[in-house]
Amino acid sequence: MCLGVPGRIVDINGLVATVDFWGVKRQVRLELVDSPVAVGDYVLNHVGFAIRRIPEEDIEGTLALYEELLQESDQDLMAADVRGEMDSARERDHGGH
């Protein structure tokens, strides 16, 4: 129940922030946010209110989280032959990056 859309604060005027959603900007109210915000912060907007300040370090952290999950899932496997198959699959996936 949650059309939360993330954006970046470009201006603050009292309890109202102007948020850039990478294409359009909209004013978002700050009464509900969970910590003080500043220009440049990422926030999650829902029905015109910021409900979360998204810490920038957590964005990189999310990417790391997915990587970790995949690696741990790999380590779970018993069979070496399956692991070998996995390694070549990963090389194929990441080769293009």
Q: Does 3 bind another protein (CB under 8 A)?
A: yes
Interface with another protein, residue 84, by CB under 8 A: no
Pairing of the two strands 42-46 and 16-20: unpaired
Rule CB under 8 A: choose which of 2, 13, 40, 75 binds another protein: 2
Asked if 46 contacts 1 with a C-beta cutoff of 8 angstroms, the reply is no
Q: Are 52 and 41 in contact (CB under 8 A)?
A: no
Q: Segment 30-69, which members bind another protein (CB under 8 A)? A: 31-34, 42, 44-49, 51-52, 54-55, 58-63, 65-66, 69
